[in-house]
Amino acid sequence: MLTRHSVTAAIALCAFVPALAQDSVGSSASWPPPVRATGAYPIRQDASQWLGSNLIGARVVSASNQTVGKVVNLVVTEDGVVEAAVIAVGGMFGLGSKGVAVTYKSLNIVRTATGDAIDHITVAAEKSDLRQATEFKTLREQRSEKTARGGAATPTVVNLTTPPL
- What angle is formed at CA 99 by the lines to CA 94 and CA 102, rounded to 5 degrees? 135
Q: For 28-37, what is each residue's pLDDT tens digit? A: 567 777 777 7
Are 125 and 85 in contact, with CB atoms under 8 Å apart? no
CATH number at residue 82: 2.30.30.240
**Domain span including residue 131:** 52-136
The sign one gets for the Cα dihedral 150, 157, 55, 125 is negative
- DSSP, collapsed to helix, strand or coil, labels residue 73 as strand
In a domain, 81, yes or no: yes
In a domain, 36, yes or no: no
Mean pLDDT of the chain: 80
pTM score, whole prediction: 0.67
Structural domains counted in the chain: 1
- DSSP, collapsed to helix, strand or coil, labels residue 28 as coil
Q: For 119-137, what is each residue's pLDDT tens digit? A: 999 999 999 999 999 999 9
What is the tally of helices (H) and strands (E) in the chain? 4, 6
